[in-house]
Amino acid sequence: QVQLVESGGGLVQAGESLRLSCAASGSISSFNRMGWYRQAPGKQREWVANIISSGATIYADAVKGRFTISRDNAKNTVYLQMNSLKPEDTAVYYCSAARTIITYWGQGTQVTVSS
């Protein structure tokens, strides 16, 4: 059973930074794709960023240029560096990992950005 555990969320002011971590229970090199999603109150979950097995990354337009996804295979951990945070970035952030047709999810970590 794959477990993903997010950490690093918190309360920050607009313009500040946070780094989220997603620690996997096994080797992340076995996943085709890992990524981050977020869900704001009253809204649907939305995709934020992906990193695929080759190391290529892709971002949603709303975070492009501000967020960076990366991974450390030795630590089985994926990161999301979030800079220049805005109040509209406030959400619960979820880590995901995909292996073939199966997607695994973490429990989420709250990020709150005050204006």
DSSP annotation string for 83-109: -S--GGG-EEEEEEEEETTEEEE---E
- Angstrom distance (rounded) from CA 41 to CA 99: 29
Which of 16-20, 21-25, 99-103 shows the lowest mean pLDDT across its residues?
99-103
26 has a pLDDT exceeding 90: no
Average pLDDT score, the chain: 96
30 has a pLDDT exceeding 90: no
